[in-house]
Amino acid sequence: MEDKFILFSNEHLITVGIGFISCILLVFLGFFTEKKATFAKIVAIAVLGVKIAELLFRHHYYGETVAELLPLHLCPIVIILSIFMMFFHSEVLFQPVYFWSIGAFFAILTPDIRDGMSNFASQSFFITHFFILFSTAYAFVHFRFRPTKVGFLCSFLLLVTLAFIMYFVNNKLGTNFLYVNHPPVTKSLMDFMGPWPYYIFSLAGIDIAISFFMYLPFRKNKKSKYGSWKSY
């Protein structure tokens, strides 16, 4: 009997619970080491290994093509940025990771996966998406990075630019990166936002609103501890 993923099933909810608890514990572990940057690098390298293994698994098990496996959906892009942010201690990369991390949160709640948690691709999906949330929290707590006004504006403009480019990439490759050509085939929040292309504008409006509220608590911070958009 095939193990298919069921949205909001006990398996899904338990996985989500374990993921959030794991993120909290890993952030908490950072208080017990003076080598916080080294710990961040170790976790980043481990997640990179998991992601590479997932891509190889999907190519072999599902027969997905190289074009389909390109990391051009929002969350894979953020996963890459998160890995580099943690490895290079970069506040520049923290800005889009912070503002785009909300996408990982919604992806965890309504994952676009085929099979249940006995499948490695599904396991990797949750591990890598929770890594986005963990890396954001870890950089916020231990690196003391903070979102900035410039980060808020540039992150949104970068996302719009990527969406525009992905539309033409999808037409060329027959893919649907960033879901700008049509909604995902599985159930998602986009099902309640109208048909194409109206749901894209709905998503843009929601992204602006959520990003603004994520920036709002820090709007009076003229300069973060390490200097706005400075890489370390």
Residues 6-32: pLDDT tens digits? 889 999 999 999 999 999 999 999 999
Structural tokens at position 93 = 């990369």
Q: Is the pLDDT of residue 92 over 80?
A: yes
Nearest-Å Rg of the Cα atoms of the chain is: 18
Q: Which amino acid is at 172?
A: K
Residues 35-69: pLDDT tens digits? 999 999 999 999 999 999 999 999 999 999 999 99
8 sits in the region (left: phi over 0; alpha: psi -120 to 50; else beta) called left
**Residue % of the chain over a pLDDT of 90:** 80
* Phi, psi (degrees; rounded to nearest 5) at 112: -95, 70
Identify which of 19-23, 182-186, 221-225 has the greatest average pLDDT: 19-23
pLDDT confidence band for 3 (50 / 70 / 90): confident
pLDDT confidence band for 154 (50 / 70 / 90): very high
The pLDDT, as a whole number, for residue 160 is 95
The pLDDT, as a whole number, for residue 231 is 40
Residue whose entry in the numeric block shows the structure tokens 């990391």: 71
Summarize the confidence of residues 104-109 as an average pLDDT: 93
Q: Residue length, the chain? A: 232
HSE-up of residue 10 (Cα within 13 Å, Cβ side): 0
Residues 6+ apart with CB under 8 A from 128: 47, 50, 51, 54, 75, 76, 79
Contact 127, 46 (CB under 8 A): no
The pLDDT, as a whole number, for residue 192 is 78
Q: Is the pLDDT of residue 227 over 50?
A: no
The domain locations on the chain are 10-218
What does the mean pLDDT of the chain come to? 91
Q: Is the pLDDT of residue 83 over 80?
A: yes
pTM of this structure: 0.90
Q: Which of 40-44, 72-76, 195-199 has the lowest mean pLDDT?
A: 195-199
Summarize the confidence of residues 77-95 as an average pLDDT: 97
Contact 124, 71 (CB under 8 A): no
Contact 81, 96 (CB under 8 A): yes
Q: Which of 145, 134, 132, 39 is nearest to 90 (CA)?
A: 145
